[in-house]
Structure 1
Amino acid sequence: MSWPRDMTKNENLSLFLVSEKHIMSPEFHSRFSWCGGLRKYHVKFGVSNITPRSIGNLREFSDIETGSWYLKSENKLVPVNVENRRSVKLPEWYYKSMCKLVDHEQGLLITGRQELLNPPQTAFKTAIQTRYSDLDFNLHLNTAEYYKFCSDSASMASQSGYYRHFTSDIVHYPVLQIEASFLGECGPAEHLVVYTWQDEKDFTKLYFVIHRKEVRIFQACFIHESKMSTDKVISSL
Structure 2
Amino acid sequence: MPVVTVLKDDAESTQVRVEGQIYNFDNRTGFWSPWSLSDFVVGVSNVDNISPVSDYMRADVENTPVFQKRQILRFNPNIFTYSKLKFKFHIIHQIQPGENGGTSYVWNSVVKDVESQTVLLERAVKLVTIDRTTRKAVELPKWFRQKYHDPSPKMERLNDLPDSFKTIFNPPDFPPDCYQWRTTVRYSDLDFNMHTHQSVYTKFCLDAITSAALKGKLRYFNRDICFYPLESVDITFIGESFAEDELLVNILQDTCDQTIIRCLIENNRKPVTYLVLKLGLTTLSVSKL
Matches within 5 A, 1:101-140: 104-106=155-157, 107-110=159-162, 111=165, 112-140=167-195
On the 8 A contact 1:205/1:222 being kept in 2, the answer is yes
Identity of aligned residues (%): 24
Measured after TM superposition, the shift of residue 221 of structure 1 is: 0.7
Q: Distance in 2 between matches of 1:25 and 1:188?
A: 33
Task: Give the structure 2 partner of residue 14 of structure 1.
Answer: 65
Amino acid at match of 2:176: Q
The reply to whether residue 198 of structure 1 matches residue 253 of structure 2 is yes
CA RMSD in angstroms comes to 2.2
Task: Give the structure 2 partner of residue 91 of structure 1.
Answer: 141
Task: Give the structure 2 partner of residue 75 of structure 1.
Answer: 125
Measured after TM superposition, the shift of residue 37 of structure 1 is: 2.6
The reply to whether residue 42 of structure 1 matches residue 90 of structure 2 is yes
Which of residues 77, 80, 85 is equivalent to 1:29? 80
Unaligned runs of 5+ in 1: none
The reply to whether residue 4 of structure 1 matches residue 52 of structure 2 is no
Q: Aligned with 2:203: secondary structure? A: helix
Q: Aligned with 2:87: secondary structure? A: coil
Shift in alpha-carbon separation, 1:233–1:44, aligned structure 2, 3 A: farther
Q: TM-score when scaled to structure 1? A: 0.88
Measured after TM superposition, the shift of residue 213 of structure 1 is: 1.1
CA offsets per residue over residues 140-181 of structure 1, 9 Å max, x none? 111121111111101101000000010122111110111011
Q: Distance in 2 between matches of 1:157 and 1:46?
A: 38
Q: TM-score when scaled to structure 2? A: 0.73
Measured after TM superposition, the shift of residue 115 of structure 1 is: 3.5
Amino acid at match of 1:97: K
Matches within 5 A, 1:145-164: 145-164=200-219
The runs of at least 4 consecutive aligned structure 1 residues that moved more than 4 Å come to: none
How many residues align structurally? 229
Amino acid at match of 2:136: R
Q: Answer with 80-89 or 197-206: which moved more.
A: 80-89
Amino acid at match of 1:50: G
On the 8 A contact 1:117/1:209 being kept in 2, the answer is no
Measured after TM superposition, the shift of residue 3 of structure 1 is: 4.4
The reply to whether residue 54 of structure 1 matches residue 83 of structure 2 is no
Amino acid at match of 1:75: V
Q: Aligned with 1:139: secondary structure? A: coil
Q: Answer with 108-117 or 209-218: which moved more.
A: 108-117
Q: Distance in 2 between matches of 1:77 and 1:134?
A: 20
Task: Give the structure 2 partner of residue 100 of structure 1.
Answer: 150
On the 8 A contact 1:117/1:219 being kept in 2, the answer is no
Task: Give the structure 1 partner of residue 113 of structure 2.
Answer: 63
